[in-house]
Copies of this chain bind each other. A is one copy, B any other.
Amino acid sequence: MSEKNIQVLLARRPTGEVLESDFEIVSSEVPPIQKGQFLVRNHYLSLDPYMRGRMSDAPSYAQPVALGDVMVGGTVGEVVASEHAAFKPGDMVVGALGWQLYGVSDGTGMTKITERDIPLSAYLGVLGMPGVTAYVGLMDIGAPQAGETVVVSAASGAVGSVVGQLAKIHGCRVVGIAGGQEKCRYVTDELGMDACLDYKAGRLGEDLDRAAPQGIDIYFENVGGPTFDTVLGRMNPFGRIPVCGMISQYNALEPYGVKNFRSVLMNRLKVQGFIVSDHLARWPTALKALGQGVREGRIKYRESIAQGLENAPAAFIGLLAGKNFGKQLVKLI
């Protein structure tokens, strides 16, 4: 194997905005494998908002990436060498081998992709962590009932787009929130949500009053900050708020102060944070439902694909600023 491995390391911990100089791109030998291991040539790297948390050493649910270590990240790729009984060269696998061309695994957390009628990249999106995140948050915490009104922020994104389409499948009225007219058109015209509000228009409260005249029963939270506050004040009694992310706050130096917290009491809301990795038992059920939705054309998805690992830092910075349109990936091959 003549190709070198290329890796993106965490070089510095960002303060506020992430900079390209927070990363270092290095070249190294393709790593050797030992008995019980296999080598994967990654085809796609997934970029996800949670990675911002791993760059920081503030207390969080996961260990930070150590300075000088390869950035963590989900990957799909092909097994190219194996000393492992269950994985053979030619197998396509999905796992978390990080921001690099080649990764070595002992099989922990790796899944073979056996159904190849859906493109490989989907296993990092709608049929991967973001899709299952949407399913678990909406179905298990949101518990949608037909006729209810569901609002989802980052509605054109990897998670939000699945939330909105699942909620439609379950008979809800769905209002997306997204940044800009182009994303909003996609959310209504392609994804089939009932309305989409452009938070950049600066009148989200009024727009919500119009688009959700019966109030809001479920708010699937991806962004935090003022959007959260605005929706919080419009929840119906016994509403549910699965809290999946707060992308508006990840680069913030000072946290936003939530003023409508009183609504939690007045409306007897359930506000619940969750992380999909706490719900591993739900993956098979979720993937079955999502795969069926994709095959039937009832769950659509869209990807922003950066070309080449050297462009991963810029693509990640763009993701945090909402410049992506759909699931952000990096093509590595």
A residues with CB within 8 A of B: 53, 59-61, 224, 228, 237, 243-246, 249, 255-262, 264-275, 278
- Write out the residue numbers on chain B whose beta carbons fall within 8 Å of the beta carbon of A272: 264, 268-271
Q: How far is the CA of A247 from the CA of B274 in the complex (A)?
A: 29
In the complex, the answer to whether A273 meets B267 with C-beta atoms within 8 Å is: yes
Q: A256, A262, A275 — which one has the most chain B CB atoms within 10 A of its CB?
A: A262
Q: In the assembly, what is the distance between CA of A257 and CA of B270, in Å? A: 19
Please judge, given known A-B contacts A224-B261, A261-B224, whether A237 and B268 are in contact too, CB under 8 Å: no
- Return chain B residues, CB-CB under 8 Å to A273: 264-270
Determine if B268 and A61 form an interchain contact, defined as CB atoms under 8 angstroms apart.
yes
* Chain B residues within 8 Å of A228, by CB: 261
A273 to B272, CA, bound (A): 12
Contact call B261/A61, Cβ cutoff below 8 A? no
Which residues of chain B are within 8 angstroms of A249 by Cβ–Cβ distance? 262
A-B residue pairs in contact (CB < 8 Å), sample of 11: A53-B266, A61-B266, A243-B264, A246-B261, A249-B262, A256-B261, A258-B258, A258-B259, A264-B273, A267-B273, A271-B272
- Report the Cα distance A266→B262, complex, angstroms: 21
Contacts of A61 in B (CB 8 A): 237, 266-268
Tell me the smallest distance from the CB of A265 to a CB of chain B, in Å: 4
Are B278 and A268 in contact (CB-based, < 8 A)?
yes
Name the CB-closest residue of B to A271. Answer: B271
**What's the Cα separation between A259 and B275 when bound, in Å?**
21
Give the nearest-CB partner of A221 in chain B: B265
Q: A269-B272, A272-B271 in contact; A255/B264 too (CB < 8 A)?
A: no
* Chain B residues with CB under 8 A of A269: 271-273
Q: Is the CB of B262 within 8 A of A259?
A: no
Q: How far is the CA of A166 from the CA of B225 in the complex (A)?
A: 36
Contact A262 B271 (CB under 8 A): no
